[in-house]
Structure 1
Amino acid sequence: MSGRSSLPLLGPLLGRRPLLPILLALLAAAIFLADTVTNLEIAVAVFYVVIVLIAVRYLDRRGVAMVAAACMTLTVLSFFLTRAGAVPAGVVNCAISLVAIAVTAYLALRAAAAEAQAREAQAQLAHITRVTMLGELTASIAHELNQPLAAIMLNGNAARRWLAGGNPDEAGKAAERIVRDAERASELIKRLRGLTRKAAGKAIWLDVNQLISDTLTLVETEAGRAHVALRAELAGQLPRAQADPVQIQQVILNLILNALEAVSGEEERDVTIVTSPGRSGEIVIEVRDSGCGLNGVELDHVFDAFYTTKPEGLGMGLAISRSIVESHGGRIWAQPAVPRGAAFFFSLQAGRTGSRGSDQ
């Protein structure tokens, strides 16, 4: 009797959560039947570890414990029901199978817990990085928020004067401008709250061009203070991408801030953000600068954790960006720009069409 695992054939079905209990039950029944009809010398029950490994991937700790306990119960029951074979050998094989199931469940749960802790630590680090970036942009954010607030004050005073002068039509127009500027301020605050939140993100159908336009409002003042020409070349009719806007905005912000720092002190200070359709239905976002380039930078390690060319850098920004992009099924890379400078690219998997392009 051979004990082949049918896991490769079940792979496409295991992702369907409603079918998972049925599939596990059928697989357990097949192993139980094979273990019962074969001799006691054949340790078919050891294949219950496959069920445990599947359960670890799709169930919580309690569910895995219940599955492991059920497999161990079936192993013992099969031993008592098996008629053929030597009993001493059956006792040894039964004990081996029970130990294998228990150890597999324990180690798999430990590995799953460690992986969950690693993801949580990475999420915490990404949150700290976002807050740090916003701290660097304090002046820019304050300026961007002050503009609609100042406009609200001016229009409010104008509306009072128009009402006092008996001109309600002009007062109504001033009130409309107040509402518009209040919505603008509200949207900015909403974006900032999204960037500072610690909760897990949610993927939506994302207009990448619009997200870049929103992100540029956060860095325009910073670029102006540094005398950097900040441009956007956004391709028209880009498909949408299914992504978490907060995380993708963090990647864009990080690359733009790096580019602004790269051109500081240069005679030509240009930073350009480009979107374009890529291969195999990708959306490619490029952040290009006119700085000193990538001389002395190891391109194979530029996205590694703690790798940095900055005297005071931690080397985590690009590593977190790579993690975010890869978790969205994309890729990130860097290469020298022409005629000078550096260009950083990342891609997202495209979905739906409908984004408009613009130049700023």
Structure 2
Amino acid sequence: MAPADPDDDLTIPFRDVSVALSAIEKIASAMDFEEGIADAITRALLTADPTSADLLPEVGAVVDAESARLHLHRIAARLREHVPTTNAPLAPPPVTQPEHVHGGIEVRRPSRSYALEHDELARFAVPWLNITWEHINAYTEVLEFAETERPLQTHLAQYPLLLAQHLGGGHGRWVIPQKRLGAEYVPDFVIAEKHSGGFVWQFVELQSPQAKLFVPSSGRQSAQLDEGLRQILEWRRWLESNLDYARRPRSQHGLGLTEVGPRDKGLLIIGRERDLDDVDRQRRRQLSEVNSIAIHTYDWLAREAGARVRELSSAKHTEATPD
């Protein structure tokens, strides 16, 4: 018998959840479109209840308008799981998934109750095989209108399975937004996969989709590319000096990043594919190899997700076809 999911014991009035979700979505929307409102709400929140900064540690403390936005979007994502019908598109699918076979490959995805008991990363588990064309289309729409990385960061925090498609671990994948490394650094995302050999981590830095990777006149690294690479290298140096603290479970006052290390790869997402030529791509490959940092455009995320959807569709067709 499968272990009971502790959330099954929760009784939440449908009307209360719906009203709360609607209010949070309206506040988040206002904060997204009006910076003054975002700053005012953040100041009021911190003044009224300073302890609220730690309510959702997975997105970091509320210290500014951007971190407050991420908190609200994460809360809304959790509430949607308890509202069976909502106008919000693409509600993130539930974490609970049984073991299954896709295309002849067994993928072990622990149930939520098992994860809560055995895995401190449970809340960040991503059901990566639930990716659909609707997820991809919604992402590309945000990308087309994004002038900075901010709306993309918010969207990826809401739909983290988009960041897990390039990973290969069949024993689980996790996406942690705004994970603080001590008091010094806050990576945009920390992602992990697990296979038979253990955990593999990546630290993700987002730069503007409008940024160029190289200066056209000289071929030198752009300021945004240089900043993105430097950020990831600084995170590695921090890990080297604080490795025990980073690996230690949260129950023992650590960060809970099991088996993380300073040699783990980085992932820098910057610019658009249409702005690159063959020389730019060659320079990008060289930088990636030298720094052990994958450098990709935002279009790459959509391509990886599309490849996964086609793979799953092909597997389902094969399974459905009689011998």
Q: Report the TM-score when normalising by structure 2.
A: 0.27
State which structure, 1 or 2, has the greater radius of gyration over its C-alpha atoms: 1
The structure richer in helix per residue is: 1
